[in-house]
Amino acid sequence: MKVLTVVSHPRRNSLTFAAAEKLVQGLKDAGHDTEILDLHRIGFNPVLWEADEPDISVERPQYSPEVEREIERMDQFDGLAYVFPLWWYSLPAMLKGYIDRVWNYGYAYGTSKLHHQHVLWLILAAAGSQDLTKRKYDEMIDHYLHVGLADYVGIPDSKVAYLYETLKGDPKHIEQLLDQAYQQGLNYGKE
């Protein structure tokens, strides 16, 4: 399977990127082809302007050249993986803007749906699982990603995986988190 791995973090030397690299290693070891799309390094503009506002009067609207390039890129892949830190119990603005602009009417919903069969949301959380569960943030996030995004655009298999307590300075803990990221790649699309 060909998997597009989209990473959203401003620092290349972050744990987010280290996790993405381990995920990619797992994907490759499982026999998948993958490409890393670094939203910050390509200079993606997350702000939706008029050129990308959906025109629901046509079956397949034309968007800005930047969005058309990203649509062409997505079309080359069978599966998707998004790697990002959990900020304010949501997606970073860069990733949210990417989804707003690229997963657009006429391409991802409305007159058409995405053709991708699997999506993995690999989330790095500073909090522990008990902190997310206590206020049901985990349920809110899972529902948003599974139903509000993946199901809405026709992706039948959506998986949310968390790497918890990412600010813990213990090298052994970080190694365990990176191994979890690797395992997600190794088992992509199997669950």
CATH number of 2-17+28-186: 3.40.50.360
Q: In this model, does residue 171 exceed pLDDT 90?
A: yes
pLDDT in tens, 80-95: 999 999 999 999 999 9
Task: Report the distance separating Cα 155 and Cα 118, nearest Å.
Answer: 6
What pLDDT was estimated at residue 191? Answer: 67
Give me the chain's average pLDDT, please.
Answer: 96
pTM: 0.96
Task: Report the distance separating Cα 99 and Cα 182, nearest Å.
Answer: 25
